[in-house]
Structure 1
Amino acid sequence: MATASHLIELANTIQTQVTEFQKLLAASGQPDPSLDLDAPSPDFAAAGLHAQDVRSKLLDQIDELHDLLLTPQEMLLGTAPTDFVSRHALDRFQVYQKVPVGETRTYTQLAEATGLPLNVIRRLIRHAITQRIFTEPTPDVVAHTPASKLLAEDRNVRDYWGILSEIVSPAAAQTANALSKWPQESGSKKRETAGFYLATGKTVYQVLEDEPETHNRYDSAMSANRNNVLFSVDHIARGFDWQSLGKGTIVDVAGGIGTVSRSLAKHFPELNFIVQDQPEVLAQAPPVEDESSKARITFMEHDMFTPQPIKDADIYFFRRVFMEWDDDKAVQILRNLTPGMTPGKSRVVIADFYVPEPGEAPLWIERKFRNSDMLTFVLSNGGSRDKEAWIKLFEKAGPGFVVKNVKPLKNSDMMITEALWQGE
């Protein structure tokens, strides 16, 4: 049981850390965070790694203080799955865009614009206001907050909440039923036994293939975290000794439009990159604009379930690929690399989501890890691998792979796994 002295100690620690964090922001030229609509948005990453560490500790300590001030009953009953109701409805009726940024609208005007009854639009918006989405500066008048402004202006963020409401929520509601129906298949990554399949009669990938509009929205939603420091590709640059490769060659397998390769090429001007993916993915890749990188980044059509055509590369790199596949498919991907790999030289480097051991990461970050794990679980019966699972995956791929390192990337949602190919 927490004592009063612990509360005071925790509050004092928070005050000290807030003071330090504010100084770090100021030193980097960043403004104080503010909920005012016109306030500039601080770039926490620009404040440096130490500032990110302090911020992470603060979020954890503030969460602890908040939870200590709740009774267990309040903590349990305060969880509200209905948070999505207003977000989904306001998105569906385009309410975010119907309040021009910098202007206000009355509930009556929004009722007329949406076709919804006045009492319904008022209830929905006032529910959203409790989540700091919109504000009511004067009675019956609606204005934007930074959150609702972002939803109005950023399609990716709107689509993220839309996908959670329309795809994830129905799957989550059926996940316990899927576990009851297929208990031995749970966590097997067999998509036909996931909550999503029970809810729709299709796998999530079949739905995306059959419904182009949903697929476009899903892709848009996946871009919503592009500015999230936890997903930054800069962590990959810092998390592996790329510099030691000199003029080495990196094969970016299933590398999409080359996001990681473009970033690494700027950090390491001697490295060469080959970005591989399906032709329809590569067709969306914009030209490489950075003059120093153009000659060192090439694009190649390749299916990772076929033998790797590039031989003698230093690194065969994967980012956020293996989380989608069960061990059998993942082993197939790894085995398809070996025809091109040079024993004692070529390595596989994987940056992917993982599940930390309890207490290994701050609670607010671990909660994000486990939410991500649950997301893939309800959609495809998949999940993030922990350290032991990554090691076992390479053991299944064959004795020629020797795992050299498995480590979380600091201030990131991902882990780097490195394995050397020593030959059959």
Structure 2
Amino acid sequence: MASTFEPSNLLSLVEDIKQAALQEQGPNPSAQSHFRLLGLIDELRLAVETPTETVLRLIYQPPQNAALRTVMDLGIFPLLMESGKCGLSAVELASKTGAERGLIVRLMRVMTALGLCASNESEIYVANEKTLILTQPIGRDGIPCIYDLTLPTLAKLPDYFREHHYLAPKEYSKSPMQWAVGQSQFEWLAQHKHRQALFNSYMSSRRHGKPSWFDIYPIERLTTDARDHSEAVFLVDVGGNQGHDLVKFHDKHPDVPGQLILQDLPKVVARSPGEGIQGMGYSFLDPQPVKGARTYYFRAIFHDWPDHICRKILVNTVSAMDPEYSRIIISDFVLPDTHVPLLQASLDIQMMSIGSGVERSERQWREMLDEAGLEVRGIWSGNPGMESVVEAVRRG
């Protein structure tokens, strides 16, 4: 079946890609222009593919992921990086990994087709510009961790929805992952310490080189008129884990008035987060003990939880806010209400599967915050593929 895309529309799309590519290679490329170019390329592929080709591409994604997961276990990509321009043969890779040569050949067909390495001679494999990332934390740790964490649940997700009458899960304790494997995301990670380490490494690497929330958000909205006395609290990082965000903030803004407080479960904040930062054991499911802080900051917290838990976290925070002074700052994905990018749409399904969580659109954020007694004062976005920053105040 041939593609039904009109030739004139196809040529127009090619011209749009050309102009976007020129902007990308120009003196002032931006995250927005890069994101637009990728979107146009995706449109071009869909325009050129026949419907059958599109379906077949989707059908055979699972074996591609399984082959990649196996290649990661074999440690092939570091070997290719070490081999330089000469590359390694299937025989050499078999000798170094202990895998059968024939299996190496079949796995590497997929890797080269995915563009993760090159093969210009029969059974000879060479690193390319994509190979390095697979030896760094985002690839090395992210691929095995996310595959192992999510695949057992995703494989049973259609069964889950059939059994639950196609209702979206709304209880963390009754998530599809709990139903499929008998554990929640955090329970599974806690029982697999190596996986927890991979997960932490991957999550950190996803944001490496990306702007922090205070690079996107106009921080003077908080520093102007901030209280400056011994009891004043400038920023509370709620559920901030090891305090990486708070340490970066303190490094860039060491002179902000008031205390910096890191809150998480007691065992998490037992280690000192860093100079100038106070650790405090706290669960965000309890009322917020720090009253009248300038800023209550949440990064990547709410997408883990269904709406009613998020509202509880927010109400616990609202009860501690000074109506005229305090702000809530949320760093999380804010999906557009239309034309949601595939990555964020996919991440929403993943969060729903492993913890009944949600990646929310702007409309959903505004509705949920309104229900908790908050008013959105602004939303700032630096990179369309990364989290946005939401500022909210107590309503009325």
Match of 2:10 in 1: 7
Amino acid aligned to 1:281: V
CA-CA distance at 1:346 after TM superposition: 1.6
Amino acid aligned to 1:336: N
Match of 2:249 in 1: 264
Aligned mate of 1:215, from 196, 203, 217: 196
Q: After the TM superposition, which of the residue ranges 172-181 and 263-272 deviates more from structure 2?
A: 263-272
Cα distance change of structure 1 residues 328 and 52 upon mapping to structure 2, 3 Å threshold: closer
Instruction: Show the 5 A alignment for 1:332-347.
Output: 332-347=312-327
* Contact 2:21-2:37 at 8 Å conserved across structures: yes
Q: Distance in 1 between matches of 2:223 and 2:207?
A: 28
Aligned mate of 1:205, from 178, 186, 193: 186
Amino acid aligned to 1:275: L
Match of 1:411 in 2: 383
Match of 1:421 in 2: 394
Count residues in correspondence: 379
Asked if 1:164 is matched to 2:136, the reply is no
Unaligned runs of 5+ in 2: 228-233
Q: Distance in 2 between matches of 1:349 and 1:356?
A: 19
Q: Distance in 2 between matches of 1:134 and 1:96?
A: 8
Match of 1:369 in 2: 344
Q: Distance in 2 between matches of 1:316 and 1:137?
A: 55
Please tell me the root mean square deviation across aligned C-alpha atoms, in Å: 2.6
Q: Per the alignment, in what secondary structure is the counterpart of residue 405 of structure 1?
A: strand
Q: Distance in 1 between matches of 2:350 and 2:50?
A: 28
CA-CA distance at 1:189 after TM superposition: 4.0
Aligned mate of 1:352, from 321, 332, 343: 332
Amino acid aligned to 2:143: W
Q: Distance in 2 between matches of 1:271 and 1:66?
A: 52
CA-CA distance at 1:88 after TM superposition: 0.8
Match of 2:231 in 1: none
Q: Per the alignment, in what secondary structure is the counterpart of residue 275 of structure 1?
A: strand
Instruction: Show the 5 A alignment for 1:252-401.
Output: 252-268=237-253, 269-272=255-258, 273-283=260-270, 287=274, 294-295=275-276, 297-359=277-339, 366-397=341-372, 401=373
* Contact 1:250-1:313 at 8 Å conserved across structures: yes
Q: Compute the TM-score of the two structures, normalised by the length of structure 2.
A: 0.86
CA-CA distance at 1:71 after TM superposition: 1.0
Q: Distance in 2 between matches of 1:330 and 1:20?
A: 40
Q: After the TM superposition, which of the residue ranges 345-354 and 298-307 deviates more from structure 2?
A: 298-307
Unaligned runs of 5+ in 1: 25-46, 288-293
* Contact 2:222-2:294 at 8 Å conserved across structures: no
* Contact 1:253-1:316 at 8 Å conserved across structures: yes
Q: After the TM superposition, which of the residue ranges 217-226 and 81-90 deviates more from structure 2?
A: 217-226
Deviations 1:308-339 (A, max 9, x none): 22222111111111111223322322232245
CA-CA distance at 1:101 after TM superposition: 2.1
Cα distance change of structure 1 residues 2 and 110 upon mapping to structure 2, 3 Å threshold: closer
Match of 1:129 in 2: 112
Cα distance change of structure 1 residues 281 and 160 upon mapping to structure 2, 3 Å threshold: same
Q: Compute the TM-score of the two structures, normalised by the length of structure 1.
A: 0.80
* Contact 2:287-2:316 at 8 Å conserved across structures: yes
Aligned mate of 1:250, from 235, 254, 272: 235
Cα distance change of structure 1 residues 144 and 204 upon mapping to structure 2, 3 Å threshold: same
* Contact 2:375-2:393 at 8 Å conserved across structures: yes
CA-CA distance at 1:128 after TM superposition: 0.7
Match of 2:217 in 1: 239
* Contact 1:189-1:383 at 8 Å conserved across structures: no
Q: Distance in 1 between matches of 2:16 and 2:364?
A: 37
* Contact 1:387-1:406 at 8 Å conserved across structures: no
Identity %: 21
CA-CA distance at 1:142 after TM superposition: 2.1
Aligned mate of 2:159, from 177, 186, 197: 177
Asked if 1:105 is matched to 2:88, the reply is yes
Cα distance change of structure 1 residues 330 and 422 upon mapping to structure 2, 3 Å threshold: same
* Contact 1:101-1:149 at 8 Å conserved across structures: no
Q: Distance in 2 between matches of 1:385 and 1:78?
A: 28
CA-CA distance at 1:370 after TM superposition: 0.5
CA-CA distance at 1:156 after TM superposition: 4.2
Q: Per the alignment, in what secondary structure is the counterpart of residue 351 of structure 1?
A: strand
CA-CA distance at 1:357 after TM superposition: 0.8
Deviations 1:260-291 (A, max 9, x none): 3333345544354322222333356664xxxx
Q: After the TM superposition, which of the residue ranges 107-116 and 263-272 deviates more from structure 2?
A: 263-272
CA-CA distance at 1:306 after TM superposition: 2.6
Aligned mate of 2:71, from 78, 90, 95: 90
Q: Per the alignment, in what secondary structure is the counterpart of residue 81 of structure 1?
A: helix
CA-CA distance at 1:387 after TM superposition: 2.7
Match of 1:66 in 2: 45
CA-CA distance at 1:179 after TM superposition: 0.8
Q: Distance in 1 between matches of 2:273 and 2:290?
A: 23
Q: Per the alignment, in what secondary structure is the counterpart of residue 11 of structure 2?
A: helix
Amino acid aligned to 1:325: W
Q: Distance in 1 between matches of 2:106 and 2:178?
A: 33
* Contact 2:173-2:184 at 8 Å conserved across structures: yes
Cα distance change of structure 1 residues 388 and 187 upon mapping to structure 2, 3 Å threshold: farther
